[in-house]
Amino acid sequence: MATPKTSLHLVVVLLLLSVSVSNAGHHRPRTLHVPVFPRDAVFPPPPVSTKRNGLLRQRLAADAARYASLVDDTAAASGHDRRLHSPVYTGIPFETGEYFASVGVGTPSTEALLVIDTGSDLVWLQCSPCRRCYAQTGRVFDPRRSATYRRIPCSSTQCRALRYPGCDVGVTGGCEYVIAYGDGSSSTGDLATDRLAFANDTCVHNVTLGCGRDNEGLFDSAAGLLGVGRGRMSISTQVAPAYGRVFEYCLGDRTTAASRTSYLVFGRAADQLPHAAAFTALLTNPRRPSLYYVDMNGFSVGGERVTGFSNASLRLDAATGRGGVVVDSGTAISRFARDAYAALRDAFDARAAAAGMRKLEREYSVFDSCYDLRGRPAASAPPIVLHFAGGADMALPPENYFLPIDGGRQQRRRTAYHCLGFEAADNGLSVIGNVQQQGFRVVFDVEKERIGFAPNGCAV
Protein backbone atom coordinates (compact mmCIF):
# COMPACT_ATOMS: atom_id res chain seq x y z
CA MET A 1 0.00 0.00 0.00
CA ALA A 2 1.48 3.36 -1.01
CA THR A 3 1.51 6.02 1.71
CA PRO A 4 1.67 9.75 0.89
CA LYS A 5 4.88 11.42 1.93
CA THR A 6 3.15 13.69 4.41
CA SER A 7 1.52 10.71 6.06
CA LEU A 8 4.84 8.92 6.48
CA HIS A 9 6.04 11.50 8.96
CA LEU A 10 2.83 11.08 10.95
CA VAL A 11 3.28 7.30 10.88
CA VAL A 12 6.78 7.61 12.28
CA VAL A 13 5.78 10.03 15.03
CA LEU A 14 2.78 8.02 16.17
CA LEU A 15 4.75 4.78 16.04
CA LEU A 16 7.62 6.11 18.09
CA LEU A 17 5.53 7.92 20.68
CA SER A 18 3.73 4.68 21.53
CA VAL A 19 6.94 3.15 22.93
CA SER A 20 7.72 3.64 26.62
CA VAL A 21 10.68 2.56 28.74
CA SER A 22 10.97 1.50 32.36
CA ASN A 23 13.39 -0.33 34.63
CA ALA A 24 13.43 -1.81 38.10
CA GLY A 25 14.93 1.35 39.63
CA HIS A 26 12.29 3.61 38.03
CA HIS A 27 15.08 5.60 36.33
CA ARG A 28 15.24 5.34 32.59
CA PRO A 29 18.82 4.44 31.58
CA ARG A 30 20.35 6.59 28.88
CA THR A 31 21.32 3.59 26.82
CA LEU A 32 20.02 0.08 26.23
CA HIS A 33 22.70 -2.59 26.42
CA VAL A 34 22.36 -6.04 24.85
CA PRO A 35 25.32 -8.33 25.69
CA VAL A 36 26.57 -10.31 22.71
CA PHE A 37 28.42 -13.61 22.83
CA PRO A 38 29.89 -15.80 20.08
CA ARG A 39 27.80 -18.88 19.44
CA ASP A 40 30.63 -21.17 20.55
CA ALA A 41 30.78 -19.46 23.94
CA VAL A 42 27.26 -20.67 24.74
CA PHE A 43 26.62 -23.58 22.37
CA PRO A 44 29.88 -25.56 21.99
CA PRO A 45 30.35 -26.91 18.45
CA PRO A 46 30.92 -30.63 17.84
CA PRO A 47 34.47 -31.97 18.17
CA VAL A 48 36.79 -31.47 15.22
CA SER A 49 36.21 -34.21 12.69
CA THR A 50 36.70 -34.99 9.04
CA LYS A 51 33.26 -33.41 8.50
CA ARG A 52 34.52 -29.91 9.26
CA ASN A 53 34.77 -28.94 5.62
CA GLY A 54 31.24 -30.23 5.12
CA LEU A 55 30.03 -27.94 7.89
CA LEU A 56 32.00 -25.07 6.36
CA ARG A 57 30.32 -25.62 3.01
CA GLN A 58 26.90 -25.59 4.69
CA ARG A 59 27.68 -22.34 6.49
CA LEU A 60 29.01 -20.72 3.33
CA ALA A 61 25.95 -21.87 1.39
CA ALA A 62 23.73 -20.25 4.01
CA ASP A 63 25.86 -17.12 3.79
CA ALA A 64 25.45 -17.03 0.02
CA ALA A 65 21.68 -17.20 0.50
CA ARG A 66 21.89 -14.34 2.98
CA TYR A 67 23.80 -12.25 0.45
CA ALA A 68 21.15 -13.07 -2.14
CA SER A 69 18.51 -11.68 0.22
CA LEU A 70 20.38 -8.36 0.38
CA VAL A 71 20.72 -8.14 -3.38
CA ASP A 72 17.10 -9.05 -4.08
CA ASP A 73 14.80 -6.03 -3.83
CA THR A 74 12.13 -8.19 -2.19
CA ALA A 75 14.31 -8.36 0.92
CA ALA A 76 13.22 -4.86 2.03
CA ALA A 77 10.91 -5.56 4.14
CA SER A 78 22.86 10.05 36.31
CA GLY A 79 24.78 7.33 38.22
CA HIS A 80 22.45 4.80 36.65
CA ASP A 81 23.24 2.53 33.71
CA ARG A 82 22.92 4.68 30.62
CA ARG A 83 22.81 1.88 28.09
CA LEU A 84 20.30 -0.64 26.75
CA HIS A 85 22.03 -4.02 26.52
CA SER A 86 21.36 -7.53 25.22
CA PRO A 87 23.52 -10.66 25.22
CA VAL A 88 24.81 -11.73 21.81
CA TYR A 89 25.77 -15.22 20.64
CA THR A 90 27.32 -16.46 17.40
CA GLY A 91 25.70 -19.03 15.13
CA ILE A 92 28.56 -21.53 14.81
CA PRO A 93 26.88 -24.32 16.83
CA PHE A 94 23.86 -23.91 14.57
CA GLU A 95 26.04 -23.98 11.45
CA THR A 96 25.22 -20.42 10.45
CA GLY A 97 27.18 -17.18 10.33
CA GLU A 98 24.79 -14.93 12.25
CA TYR A 99 25.00 -13.42 15.72
CA PHE A 100 22.10 -13.65 18.15
CA ALA A 101 20.79 -11.20 20.75
CA SER A 102 19.10 -12.55 23.85
CA VAL A 103 15.93 -10.56 24.58
CA GLY A 104 12.99 -11.21 26.91
CA VAL A 105 9.59 -11.00 25.22
CA GLY A 106 6.24 -10.53 26.98
CA THR A 107 5.06 -10.50 30.62
CA PRO A 108 6.34 -12.71 32.13
CA SER A 109 9.33 -12.76 29.80
CA THR A 110 10.15 -15.59 27.45
CA GLU A 111 13.82 -15.56 26.47
CA ALA A 112 14.26 -15.36 22.71
CA LEU A 113 17.44 -15.64 20.65
CA LEU A 114 16.95 -13.21 17.76
CA VAL A 115 19.26 -12.80 14.77
CA ILE A 116 20.76 -9.30 14.78
CA ASP A 117 19.96 -8.03 11.32
CA THR A 118 21.04 -4.61 10.07
CA GLY A 119 19.59 -5.51 6.68
CA SER A 120 15.91 -5.55 7.71
CA ASP A 121 13.51 -3.64 9.94
CA LEU A 122 10.73 -5.72 11.43
CA VAL A 123 11.24 -7.43 14.79
CA TRP A 124 9.53 -10.83 14.64
CA LEU A 125 9.59 -14.18 16.36
CA GLN A 126 7.86 -17.53 16.10
CA CYS A 127 4.63 -17.82 18.07
CA SER A 128 2.54 -20.64 19.46
CA PRO A 129 0.18 -22.04 18.28
CA CYS A 130 2.05 -22.30 15.01
CA ARG A 131 0.76 -23.43 11.65
CA ARG A 132 4.32 -24.05 10.47
CA CYS A 133 7.44 -23.42 12.55
CA TYR A 134 11.03 -24.56 12.18
CA ALA A 135 12.95 -26.02 15.12
CA GLN A 136 14.32 -23.30 17.38
CA THR A 137 16.46 -23.27 20.50
CA GLY A 138 14.38 -22.58 23.60
CA ARG A 139 10.65 -22.25 24.13
CA VAL A 140 8.46 -20.81 21.39
CA PHE A 141 6.75 -17.61 22.55
CA ASP A 142 3.08 -18.05 23.45
CA PRO A 143 1.30 -14.67 23.33
CA ARG A 144 -1.66 -16.09 25.27
CA ARG A 145 0.57 -16.21 28.35
CA SER A 146 1.73 -12.60 28.05
CA ALA A 147 -0.28 -9.99 29.95
CA THR A 148 1.14 -7.19 27.78
CA TYR A 149 0.55 -8.69 24.33
CA ARG A 150 -1.87 -6.73 22.13
CA ARG A 151 -2.94 -7.30 18.52
CA ILE A 152 -2.68 -4.24 16.30
CA PRO A 153 -5.86 -3.39 14.36
CA CYS A 154 -5.91 -3.13 10.59
CA SER A 155 -6.73 0.57 10.79
CA SER A 156 -3.56 1.41 12.76
CA THR A 157 -0.69 3.52 11.50
CA GLN A 158 1.68 0.62 12.21
CA CYS A 159 -0.29 -1.65 9.90
CA ARG A 160 -0.30 0.91 7.12
CA ALA A 161 3.46 1.32 7.54
CA LEU A 162 4.04 -2.30 6.46
CA ARG A 163 5.20 -2.90 2.92
CA TYR A 164 2.69 -5.75 2.52
CA PRO A 165 -0.09 -5.22 5.10
CA GLY A 166 -2.88 -7.72 5.50
CA CYS A 167 -6.04 -7.96 7.55
CA ASP A 168 -7.56 -10.84 9.49
CA VAL A 169 -11.12 -11.09 8.23
CA GLY A 170 -12.15 -12.93 11.39
CA VAL A 171 -13.53 -11.55 14.65
CA THR A 172 -10.31 -9.83 15.71
CA GLY A 173 -9.84 -7.70 12.59
CA GLY A 174 -6.16 -7.68 13.43
CA CYS A 175 -3.29 -6.63 11.19
CA GLU A 176 -1.23 -9.33 9.54
CA TYR A 177 2.30 -9.02 8.18
CA VAL A 178 4.11 -10.89 5.43
CA ILE A 179 7.87 -10.66 5.09
CA ALA A 180 9.79 -12.51 2.39
CA TYR A 181 13.54 -12.59 1.90
CA GLY A 182 15.44 -13.03 -1.33
CA ASP A 183 16.79 -16.43 -0.21
CA GLY A 184 13.29 -17.91 -0.03
CA SER A 185 12.89 -17.53 3.74
CA SER A 186 9.68 -15.97 5.00
CA SER A 187 7.51 -15.23 8.01
CA THR A 188 3.78 -14.54 8.18
CA GLY A 189 1.69 -13.76 11.23
CA ASP A 190 0.03 -11.19 13.45
CA LEU A 191 1.32 -7.66 13.95
CA ALA A 192 1.22 -6.83 17.65
CA THR A 193 2.81 -4.90 20.49
CA ASP A 194 4.47 -6.32 23.57
CA ARG A 195 7.20 -5.68 26.10
CA LEU A 196 10.89 -6.38 25.45
CA ALA A 197 13.20 -6.92 28.44
CA PHE A 198 16.93 -6.22 28.19
CA ALA A 199 19.94 -7.31 30.22
CA ASN A 200 20.14 -4.25 32.49
CA ASP A 201 16.62 -4.75 33.90
CA THR A 202 15.24 -2.23 31.44
CA CYS A 203 11.94 -2.92 29.73
CA VAL A 204 10.70 -1.28 26.55
CA HIS A 205 6.91 -1.34 26.37
CA ASN A 206 4.60 -1.35 23.37
CA VAL A 207 7.22 -2.49 20.88
CA THR A 208 5.69 -3.25 17.50
CA LEU A 209 6.63 -6.77 16.47
CA GLY A 210 5.55 -9.68 14.31
CA CYS A 211 4.16 -12.81 15.91
CA GLY A 212 5.01 -15.44 13.32
CA ARG A 213 2.51 -18.25 12.77
CA ASP A 214 3.94 -19.54 9.49
CA ASN A 215 7.74 -19.45 9.18
CA GLU A 216 10.31 -21.18 7.03
CA GLY A 217 13.81 -20.78 5.72
CA LEU A 218 17.30 -20.25 7.08
CA PHE A 219 16.43 -19.26 10.63
CA ASP A 220 17.08 -22.65 12.25
CA SER A 221 17.64 -22.43 16.02
CA ALA A 222 16.92 -18.68 16.24
CA ALA A 223 13.54 -17.58 17.59
CA GLY A 224 13.30 -14.85 14.94
CA LEU A 225 14.91 -11.60 13.83
CA LEU A 226 15.80 -8.37 15.62
CA GLY A 227 15.59 -5.86 12.78
CA VAL A 228 17.96 -2.93 13.38
CA GLY A 229 17.79 -1.39 9.90
CA ARG A 230 17.04 2.28 9.22
CA GLY A 231 13.32 1.83 8.56
CA ARG A 232 10.31 2.90 10.63
CA MET A 233 9.59 -0.54 12.11
CA SER A 234 13.10 -1.40 13.32
CA ILE A 235 13.86 -1.61 17.03
CA SER A 236 16.53 1.08 16.64
CA THR A 237 13.91 3.49 15.28
CA GLN A 238 11.26 2.53 17.83
CA VAL A 239 13.52 3.28 20.81
CA ALA A 240 14.90 6.47 19.21
CA PRO A 241 12.70 8.88 21.24
CA ALA A 242 14.35 7.60 24.43
CA TYR A 243 17.84 6.73 23.21
CA GLY A 244 18.43 8.61 19.98
CA ARG A 245 18.99 7.18 16.52
CA VAL A 246 22.32 5.59 17.31
CA PHE A 247 23.43 2.08 18.25
CA GLU A 248 26.63 0.10 18.28
CA TYR A 249 27.80 -3.46 18.58
CA CYS A 250 30.97 -5.45 18.99
CA LEU A 251 30.93 -8.97 17.55
CA GLY A 252 33.53 -11.09 19.26
CA ASP A 253 35.57 -13.98 17.94
CA ARG A 254 33.02 -16.71 17.26
CA THR A 255 35.52 -19.47 18.09
CA THR A 256 36.46 -18.53 21.65
CA ALA A 257 34.64 -18.17 24.94
CA ALA A 258 36.66 -14.99 25.57
CA SER A 259 34.09 -13.21 23.41
CA ARG A 260 31.58 -12.89 26.23
CA THR A 261 32.30 -9.18 26.08
CA SER A 262 30.38 -8.91 22.81
CA TYR A 263 27.38 -6.62 23.02
CA LEU A 264 24.67 -4.63 21.30
CA VAL A 265 23.92 -1.15 22.71
CA PHE A 266 21.28 1.42 21.85
CA GLY A 267 21.97 4.99 22.96
CA ARG A 268 24.22 8.03 22.76
CA ALA A 269 26.96 6.38 24.84
CA ALA A 270 28.18 5.36 21.41
CA ASP A 271 29.85 8.80 21.33
CA GLN A 272 32.27 7.64 24.01
CA LEU A 273 34.69 6.12 21.54
CA PRO A 274 38.47 5.79 21.93
CA HIS A 275 40.74 8.10 19.97
CA ALA A 276 41.50 5.20 17.60
CA ALA A 277 37.93 5.28 16.27
CA ALA A 278 37.49 6.30 12.65
CA PHE A 279 34.21 7.65 11.23
CA THR A 280 33.05 7.77 7.65
CA ALA A 281 29.88 9.16 6.11
CA LEU A 282 26.70 7.08 6.18
CA LEU A 283 25.18 7.06 2.71
CA THR A 284 21.51 6.61 1.80
CA ASN A 285 20.20 4.59 -1.11
CA PRO A 286 16.68 5.87 -1.91
CA ARG A 287 15.85 2.48 -3.40
CA ARG A 288 17.16 0.53 -0.38
CA PRO A 289 16.67 3.00 2.50
CA SER A 290 16.98 0.44 5.29
CA LEU A 291 20.59 -0.54 4.50
CA TYR A 292 23.72 1.09 5.91
CA TYR A 293 25.90 2.21 3.00
CA VAL A 294 29.43 3.57 3.34
CA ASP A 295 31.75 5.25 0.83
CA MET A 296 34.57 2.73 0.61
CA ASN A 297 37.35 3.72 -1.76
CA GLY A 298 39.90 0.93 -1.71
CA PHE A 299 42.32 -1.38 0.03
CA SER A 300 45.95 -1.60 1.04
CA VAL A 301 47.97 -4.82 1.23
CA GLY A 302 51.34 -4.84 2.94
CA GLY A 303 51.24 -1.06 3.27
CA GLU A 304 50.72 -0.42 -0.46
CA ARG A 305 47.51 0.79 -2.06
CA VAL A 306 45.82 -1.81 -4.28
CA THR A 307 45.44 -0.72 -7.90
CA GLY A 308 44.09 -2.36 -11.02
CA PHE A 309 40.35 -1.89 -10.52
CA SER A 310 37.85 0.86 -11.16
CA ASN A 311 36.83 3.02 -8.20
CA ALA A 312 33.33 2.97 -9.66
CA SER A 313 33.16 -0.71 -8.73
CA LEU A 314 32.60 0.20 -5.07
CA ARG A 315 30.51 3.32 -5.65
CA LEU A 316 26.79 3.61 -4.98
CA ASP A 317 24.78 4.84 -7.96
CA ALA A 318 21.97 6.72 -6.23
CA ALA A 319 20.08 7.14 -9.50
CA THR A 320 19.74 3.41 -10.14
CA GLY A 321 20.23 2.13 -6.57
CA ARG A 322 22.90 -0.29 -7.76
CA GLY A 323 26.38 -0.90 -6.43
CA GLY A 324 27.81 0.53 -3.24
CA VAL A 325 29.16 -1.05 -0.07
CA VAL A 326 26.91 -2.11 2.83
CA VAL A 327 27.96 -2.82 6.43
CA ASP A 328 25.90 -5.88 7.38
CA SER A 329 25.65 -7.92 10.58
CA GLY A 330 23.96 -10.92 8.96
CA THR A 331 26.46 -11.69 6.18
CA ALA A 332 29.56 -13.56 7.36
CA ILE A 333 32.10 -13.24 4.53
CA SER A 334 32.75 -9.86 2.89
CA ARG A 335 32.08 -9.61 -0.82
CA PHE A 336 33.46 -7.02 -3.21
CA ALA A 337 32.80 -6.29 -6.89
CA ARG A 338 34.66 -8.87 -8.95
CA ASP A 339 37.37 -6.58 -10.35
CA ALA A 340 38.01 -5.08 -6.90
CA TYR A 341 38.19 -8.53 -5.30
CA ALA A 342 40.54 -9.82 -8.01
CA ALA A 343 42.87 -6.85 -7.51
CA LEU A 344 42.86 -7.40 -3.73
CA ARG A 345 43.53 -11.13 -4.09
CA ASP A 346 46.34 -10.64 -6.61
CA ALA A 347 48.02 -8.04 -4.41
CA PHE A 348 47.79 -10.41 -1.44
CA ASP A 349 49.20 -13.33 -3.44
CA ALA A 350 52.10 -11.22 -4.70
CA ARG A 351 53.01 -10.12 -1.18
CA ALA A 352 52.62 -13.66 0.17
CA ALA A 353 54.88 -15.08 -2.58
CA ALA A 354 57.55 -12.48 -1.82
CA ALA A 355 57.44 -13.59 1.82
CA GLY A 356 57.95 -17.23 0.82
CA MET A 357 54.42 -18.44 1.63
CA ARG A 358 53.33 -21.58 -0.25
CA LYS A 359 50.05 -21.15 -2.15
CA LEU A 360 47.94 -24.22 -2.80
CA GLU A 361 46.91 -25.11 -6.34
CA ARG A 362 43.37 -26.08 -5.39
CA GLU A 363 40.46 -23.97 -4.14
CA TYR A 364 38.56 -24.62 -0.93
CA SER A 365 34.83 -24.04 -1.17
CA VAL A 366 34.37 -20.40 -2.24
CA PHE A 367 37.97 -19.44 -1.44
CA ASP A 368 40.45 -19.32 -4.32
CA SER A 369 43.56 -18.10 -2.50
CA CYS A 370 44.67 -20.67 0.11
CA TYR A 371 48.03 -21.42 1.72
CA ASP A 372 49.87 -24.16 3.58
CA LEU A 373 51.74 -22.17 6.19
CA ARG A 374 54.04 -25.11 7.15
CA GLY A 375 54.66 -23.90 10.67
CA ARG A 376 54.37 -20.21 9.92
CA PRO A 377 52.05 -18.20 12.20
CA ALA A 378 48.87 -16.86 10.58
CA ALA A 379 49.98 -13.43 11.77
CA SER A 380 52.70 -13.52 9.11
CA ALA A 381 50.05 -12.94 6.42
CA PRO A 382 50.37 -9.63 4.54
CA PRO A 383 48.35 -6.97 6.42
CA ILE A 384 45.12 -5.69 4.85
CA VAL A 385 43.48 -2.28 5.43
CA LEU A 386 40.06 -1.16 4.19
CA HIS A 387 39.91 2.54 3.24
CA PHE A 388 36.84 4.78 3.50
CA ALA A 389 36.05 8.34 2.51
CA GLY A 390 37.13 11.00 4.97
CA GLY A 391 40.38 9.23 5.80
CA ALA A 392 38.80 6.47 7.87
CA ASP A 393 40.75 3.21 7.82
CA MET A 394 39.91 -0.26 9.11
CA ALA A 395 43.12 -2.23 9.67
CA LEU A 396 42.05 -5.86 9.84
CA PRO A 397 43.80 -8.28 12.19
CA PRO A 398 44.90 -11.48 10.39
CA GLU A 399 42.22 -13.60 12.05
CA ASN A 400 39.58 -11.42 10.36
CA TYR A 401 40.71 -12.19 6.81
CA PHE A 402 43.12 -15.16 6.84
CA LEU A 403 40.83 -17.99 7.85
CA PRO A 404 41.84 -21.51 8.94
CA ILE A 405 40.50 -24.34 6.78
CA ASP A 406 40.78 -28.03 7.63
CA GLY A 407 43.01 -29.54 4.95
CA GLY A 408 42.35 -33.15 5.92
CA ARG A 409 44.93 -35.76 6.94
CA GLN A 410 48.33 -36.04 5.32
CA GLN A 411 51.00 -38.43 6.54
CA ARG A 412 49.05 -39.23 9.72
CA ARG A 413 48.67 -35.64 10.78
CA ARG A 414 45.91 -33.15 10.33
CA THR A 415 46.84 -30.16 8.22
CA ALA A 416 45.41 -26.71 8.71
CA TYR A 417 45.38 -24.47 5.66
CA HIS A 418 44.51 -20.78 5.61
CA CYS A 419 42.50 -18.97 2.95
CA LEU A 420 41.97 -15.33 2.07
CA GLY A 421 38.50 -14.81 3.53
CA PHE A 422 36.78 -12.69 0.88
CA GLU A 423 34.56 -13.44 -2.10
CA ALA A 424 33.74 -11.82 -5.42
CA ALA A 425 30.31 -10.24 -5.80
CA ASP A 426 28.72 -10.55 -9.22
CA ASN A 427 25.51 -8.70 -8.39
CA GLY A 428 26.85 -5.18 -7.95
CA LEU A 429 26.40 -4.91 -4.18
CA SER A 430 29.52 -5.16 -2.01
CA VAL A 431 29.15 -6.16 1.65
CA ILE A 432 31.43 -5.90 4.69
CA GLY A 433 30.50 -9.03 6.65
CA ASN A 434 30.66 -9.89 10.31
CA VAL A 435 33.84 -11.99 10.06
CA GLN A 436 35.75 -8.88 9.00
CA GLN A 437 33.94 -6.83 11.69
CA GLN A 438 34.93 -9.17 14.53
CA GLY A 439 36.49 -7.34 17.46
CA PHE A 440 35.63 -3.87 16.12
CA ARG A 441 33.31 -1.50 17.88
CA VAL A 442 30.96 -0.52 15.04
CA VAL A 443 28.79 2.57 15.59
CA PHE A 444 25.71 3.24 13.45
CA ASP A 445 24.99 6.92 14.05
CA VAL A 446 22.00 7.81 11.92
CA GLU A 447 21.54 11.18 13.65
CA LYS A 448 24.99 12.37 12.58
CA GLU A 449 24.93 10.35 9.34
CA ARG A 450 28.11 8.43 10.00
CA ILE A 451 29.48 4.98 10.80
CA GLY A 452 32.47 4.48 13.07
CA PHE A 453 34.99 1.66 13.52
CA ALA A 454 37.22 1.25 16.58
CA PRO A 455 39.63 -1.71 16.91
CA ASN A 456 39.69 -3.83 20.07
CA GLY A 457 36.18 -2.58 20.72
CA CYS A 458 34.76 -5.51 22.70
CA ALA A 459 36.79 -4.66 25.82
CA VAL A 460 34.59 -1.76 27.01
- Determine how β-strand 450-454 pairs with β-strand 278-283: antiparallel
Angle at 340 between CA 335 and CA 344, to 5 degrees: 90
Q: Which residues pair with 395 in a beta bridge?
A: 385
Q: How many residues does the chain have?
A: 460
Cβ partners under 8 Å of residue 9, min gap 6: none
Alpha-carbon distance of 452 to 248, in angstroms, equals 9
Query: Is residue 31 a contact partner of residue 267, using CB atoms and an 8 Å limit?
Result: yes
**Beta bridge partners of residue 209, listed in sequence order:** 192
Q: Which of 313, 246, 312, 325 is nearest to 285 (CA)?
A: 325
For the beta carbon of residue 172, count every other beta carbon within 10 angstroms. Answer: 13
Check if 328 is active-site. Answer: yes
Q: What whole-number distance in Å separates Cα of residue 49 and Cα of residue 373?
A: 21
- Sheet of 358-359: strands edge to edge? 358-359, 370-372, 413-420, 402-410
Stretch (H or E) spanning 386: strand 384-388
Asked about 393 being catalytic, the answer comes back as: no
Helix H or strand E encompassing 61: helix 52-71
CA atoms within 13 A on the CB side of 336: 23
Choosing from 121, 190, 328, 368, the catalytic residue is 328
- Tell me how far CA of residue 252 lies from CA of 59, 94, 277, 456, in angstroms: 18, 17, 17, 10
Which residue in the list 63, 117, 194, 445 is annotated as catalytic? 117
Q: Provide the annotated active-site residues.
A: 117, 328
